[in-house]
Amino acid sequence: MADINVEAILAKLTVDEKVALLSGIDMWHTKSLPQHGIPSLRFSDGPNGIRGTKFFNGVPAACFPCGTSLAATFNTSLLETTGTAMGQESIAKGAHVILGPTINTQRSPLGGRGFESLSEDPVLSGLGAAALIRGIQETGVQATMKHFVCNDQEDRRNAVQSIVQPRALREIYALPFQICVRDAEPGCVMTAYNGVNGTYVSESKELLEGMLREEWGFKGLVMSDWWGTYSTSDAVNTGLDLEMPGPARFRGELLQFCVNTDKVLGDVLDERVRKVLGLVKVCAKAGIADGAEEGGSDTPETGELLRKVAVEGAVLCKNEEGALPLKKDKKTVVIGPNAKVATFHGGGSASLAAYYAVTPYDGITAKLTTPPPAHTTGAYTHKMLPLLGFQTTTPSNAPGMTMHVYNSPPSTKDRTPVDTLTVSKTEMHLVDYTNPHITSPAWYANFTGLFTPDFTGTYEFGLVVCGTAKLFVDDNLIIDNSVNQTLGTAFYNSGTIEEKGTIPVVSGQTCTVRVEFGSAETSPLPGISAKLNGGGCLRIGGCRVISPEEEIARAVDLASSAEQVIICAGLNADWETEGHDRESMDLPGAMDQLISAVAKANPNTVVVMQSGTPVAMPWIDEVKGLIQAWYGGNETGNAIADVLFGDENPSGKLPLSFPKRLSDNPAFLNLRAEKGRTLYGEDIWVGYRYYEFAQREVLFPFGHGLSYTTFGLEGLGVSEADGKVVVEVTVTNTGSVKGKEVVQVYVAPPKAQAVNRPVKELKGFAKVELEPGQTERVKVEVETKYAVSYWDEFRRKFCAEKGEYEVIVSDSSELKEGKALKGTFKVGETFWWVGV
């Protein structure tokens, strides 16, 4: 892929060629014009790993920890290294552009993609994302900061208008993007699906041309989210360069007509094309061939990095009486639904097929010097039944199920398959499945697997489909999801609800499970687009039917005989996913009752919580230890075990406030869309800004995170000169083991102020690693204008108000005796500014 001369090529292009460059040609690629030396660019989803071009049966990839886990590291150096690894993964996938990082703001714990974003705080989000982007773009691969802006919920995301005041827009929601432009110069920006204050972002001249390009000086390409373009001339004229995916819906012939009728002028068309060509030019540095074959880079070095990042993101939230770290030689019991399942990513664009995934149970077992620990589920927390493919084998004894593809329905005698595949993950979005031998949009497949239960009792199967499906066990029809279908929320709201059926099973007796599937074209549901969903979607699940009371009693019995108990709890990709928001903060099922019962049976109980956003913890006073482990990527289980047993000292800090109740959250009354709009009624009072101002007690504060050692802070120095605030502090490891501490720098406004402002706001941070007894001087620098400013709605500029500002250095947003130092600096004269 050679370097190009943008202006020379632009001068040679015809109108038709220019128009062709402004929309994708398929799900992941842009148009190539070989006669002009313009290659096709490949994009790939990438919030926590580079999936490549396939939803179905894709090439395995490295799965990095989720966004909130990355932010919890509070380590920009590590995140830059992580970004470089993402760039290298992208090169292996032949992808020139990564669609990430996601830096929307978590207004509420219920946001479906909250796990994918970084933080409730704009500075932490911005600095963390900028580090990731710098790392990615060191490889020549370009990053895409998304979703610009206020795409903070999934409810009616394609239609909702976010009604937000100018101060909140500037100080909270746009600021992470502004910091990324300032510090990392991202190659691309993706527009949000939603509108802001009455105008869709992809059509907003104020946001795209005004804020992004003119004020901030962004030089890169602006693309739509997938199917997030809603007009032709309006979108082009207001700054949307590229419509994705292809083929075009609003460009192509429609754009040619608008150019011919001067609804889009020639110079505007040229400017849009110039951005596409500019992206082609900068992507040449990655050295990725046009149409490169997708591969992987599953190396020991990648695994080591993934484990390190997951460890640094883990947050030790509670540790009473030194309950943690656990002992490797004690009798241990592991309880919970997240123990023997690797819950390593959230749902939607963040999902991918990983090289491998380590379960917490396997990670824990590898640490113990005792026999493998006893385990029981204790309580189910799944939203849909666990995937069946991980529980079955093919007739050739490979993990998963065999997929035979046909052109004719099951009623056809002696039909011959046109394709045969082995599928281990039986959650299949077949939008990109193709085969040259398929002759019609209506095609069929059989999925066959052998299931050998390790218990005697009742087993439940589940089917979700976009298309039609029936499930048979030993040729007996158990589920018919082909006629009387009900639309659900799975597969971006295009799949049915989960239909279920049960059978009795006997331990050790193998049965044959077969699912007869018909593609999306066979669906009886009105409004299901066969074009959008391609081959359709299918999810096959199943699990043992348990009695919650009996299972909790079993868990209590096991716990009573153990010296230490680990409960692996949390959510999964069914609950936290693109497409819909959670309904509550509560853990599903009987999980709360399980934790409480086990903790009462054994006081040496610790909980490992896997969720991307906060959950309610009514049992928190009953357990001695709690680790927030998020979704940790490939190395989830090993990282959890490293922290549990003290091989690694936890150093993560919460990038989100954990409220006690959902009703305590400032967005509680204003999360859902109502009549086409969501009111951002909490204004600037997001997360800890609200909890502190309203003096509302939280479960765990923003920035909180314990360690197996202790640290001391002293010798605070604060100075302001040449447009910078310099904060210095001496950090000492006062404990007995090596550890890392995060110096968090907050700034509080003057007592007399023109507008209401938060009690204090995070403005910078630094992480330092120290041996026992070691001391180090840590410096944090912040531009003065970023340290002190608020958005002046009258002047439409940031205002740096004169006065004396307080600097607070602490180990969390909650100030504790002996844990916080305070100093001051002054701004002599008020000034206003825009830009970066």
Which residues are catalytic, by number? Answer: 225
Strands (E), 547-688: 564-570, 605-610, 625-628, 677-679
Q: The tokens of 628 are what?
A: 């927030």
Cis omega (within 30 of 0) for bond into 325: yes
Strands (E), 187-294: 188-191, 195-196, 199-200, 221-223
719's CB contacts (< 8 A; 6+ apart) are 725, 726, 825
Q: The tokens of 193 are what?
A: 């699906």
Distances, alpha carbon 664 to alpha carbons 174, 686, 691, 696, in Å? 25, 12, 8, 7
Rounded to whole angstroms, the Cα distance separating 139 from 12 reads: 30
Decide the pairing of beta strands 605-610 and 564-570.
parallel
129's CB contacts (< 8 A; 6+ apart) are 101, 103, 118, 145, 176, 179, 180, 184
For residue 317, give the nearest of 609, 732, 622 by alpha carbon.
Answer: 609
Distances, alpha carbon 506 to alpha carbons 42, 183, 459, 509, 511, in Å? 50, 61, 10, 6, 10
Residue whose structure tokens are 């031998």: 437
Q: Residue 285 burial by CB count (10 A; 0-12/13-18/19+): exposed, middle or buried? A: middle
C-alpha Rg value of the chain to the nearest Å: 27
Indicate the helix (H) or strand (E) that contains 256. Answer: helix 253-260
Q: Residue 345 burial by CB count (10 A; 0-12/13-18/19+): exposed, middle or buried? A: buried
The DSSP secondary-structure symbol of 575 reads T
Decide the pairing of beta strands 97-99 and 43-45.
parallel
β-pair partners for 97: 43, 142
Residue whose structure tokens are 């502090």: 729
Rounded to whole angstroms, the Cα distance separating 338 from 566 reads: 11
Q: Is 367 helix (H, G, I), strand (E, B) or coil?
A: helix
Longest dimension (CA), the chain: 87
304's CB contacts (< 8 A; 6+ apart) are none
Q: Is 408 helix (H, G, I), strand (E, B) or coil?
A: coil
Q: The tokens of 439 are what?
A: 């002759």
Q: What is the dihedral of CA 808, 810, 816, 822, to 10 degrees?
A: -30
Q: What are phi and psi of 777, to 5 degrees?
A: -85, 125
For residue 773, give the nearest of 695, 716, 715, 712 by alpha carbon.
Answer: 712
Query: What is the DSSP code string of 146-158?
Result: EEETT----TTTT
The DSSP secondary-structure symbol of 169 reads I
For residue 639, give the nearest of 357, 397, 245 by alpha carbon.
Answer: 357
Contact 48, 136 (CB under 8 A): no
267's CB contacts (< 8 A; 6+ apart) are none
